Amino acid sequence: MRRINGSLIASLALVVTVGALAFPVWSYADRSGTGQANMSASMVNTKWGPLTASDRDLIERVRLAGLWELPAAEMAMKKSNSAAVKEAADHLIVGHEDLDKRVRTVATQMGITLPNQPNAQQQGWLQQMQAAQGDEFDKTWANLLRSAHGKIFPAIGAVRNQTQNTLVRQLASDTNQTVLDHITVLEKTGAVDFDAIANGTI
């Protein structure tokens, strides 16, 4: 009799445990705020393919990059005495003027509202550049820009690899080429502190 009761109790405990585990999945599956609901809500179907939150994030980041890097490049043209820095600045101006046109076109087609000014962090970077003079300006300028380009580079590749939206894929490809060009010319300035970038101190 004790064996039967023990088996029965164990079986009931197992059923209760499985039920407790299954209940949250069943009860919250269709509620907003869950991972699946958020994924569905953040994806919009377009004639160019699904537009995901990651796609929109890249579009906004490309726009933001132009909003601070163009003024930074123009500042370098005025403040720097280095031919290499000015050459890098010229690459940034040409690259971001082109990308800005492309990203605004894509945003219009997708119905995405873009930012019109740099974010707080980017404004802080511009202020650091403005406050620096001479060789210190060249170092500050090159390091901040090289660090920013290095951080966005992996994100571009991830979106390029994962997106199903043809417009976003093309934008990611164009951005990838531009960012790689900018990284290359920034490194040629001789003002980049690779150790500081690698250690995350910039």
Per-residue pLDDT at 1:
44
How distant, in Å, are the alpha carbons of 72, 92, 97, 120 from that of 141? 8, 12, 19, 17
- Binning the chain into helix, strand and coil, the percentages to the nearest 5 are 80, 5, 20
Q: Please compute, for residue 125, the number of CA atoms within 13 A of its CA located in the half-sphere on the CB side.
A: 25
Per-residue pLDDT at 85:
98
H or E element in which residue 49 lies: strand 49-51
Q: Nearest-5° angle of CA 127, CA 200, CA 90?
A: 50
Query: 156 near 173, Cβ under 8 Å?
Result: no
Per-residue pLDDT at 42:
81
**Assessment of whether the complete model's pTM goes beyond 0.85:** no
The residue count of the chain comes to: 202
Q: What's the rounded Cα separation, in Å, for the pair 88 and 195?
A: 21
Full pLDDT tens readout for the chain, 202 residues: 444 454 544 443 433 333 433 333 323 233 333 333 333 448 899 999 999 999 999 999 999 999 999 999 999 999 999 999 999 999 999 999 999 999 999 999 999 999 999 999 999 999 999 999 999 999 999 999 999 999 999 999 999 999 999 999 999 999 999 999 999 999 999 999 988 888 888 8
